[in-house]
Structure 1
Amino acid sequence: MNRDQEWGEAKQRLPFGMLVQGTVLKVFPFGMFVHVSEFSSVKFVIDAVSYRPNGMVIDPAQWPAIGSSIEGVVVDHVEHNREIKLSVG
Structure 2
Amino acid sequence: MAGTVERVAGFGIFVAVEGLDPFGVVADVAGMHKDAADDAVVIWPEVGESVTGVVVQHMENNGKVKIHLT
Could you say which TM-score interval applies, normalised by the shorter chain? 0.7 to 0.9
**SS, match of residue 80 in structure 1:** coil
* CA distance, structure 2, for counterparts of residue 57 and residue 51 of structure 1: 11
Please, which of 21, 42, 53 is the counterpart of residue 41 of structure 1? 21
Q: Name the one with the larger strand percent.
A: 2
When the two chains are superposed, the root-mean-square deviation of aligned CA atoms in Å is: 2.1
Change (3 A) 1:53 1:73: farther
**Structure 2: stretches of 5+ with no match in the other structure:** none
Query: Could you report, residue by residue, the CA deviation over 1:36-56 in whole angstroms, capped at 9, with x for unpaired residues?
Result: 11x232611100111125674
Q: Name the one with the larger helix percent.
A: 1
**Structure 1: stretches of 5+ with no match in the other structure:** 1-19
Residue 88, structure 1, aligned to residue 69, structure 2: yes
Q: How many residues align?
A: 67
Letter in 1 for 2:62: N
8 Å contact from structure 1 (residues 36, 44) kept in 2: yes
Using the size of structure 2 for normalisation, the TM-score is 0.78
Using the size of structure 1 for normalisation, the TM-score is 0.63
Alignment partner, residue 41 of structure 2:
58
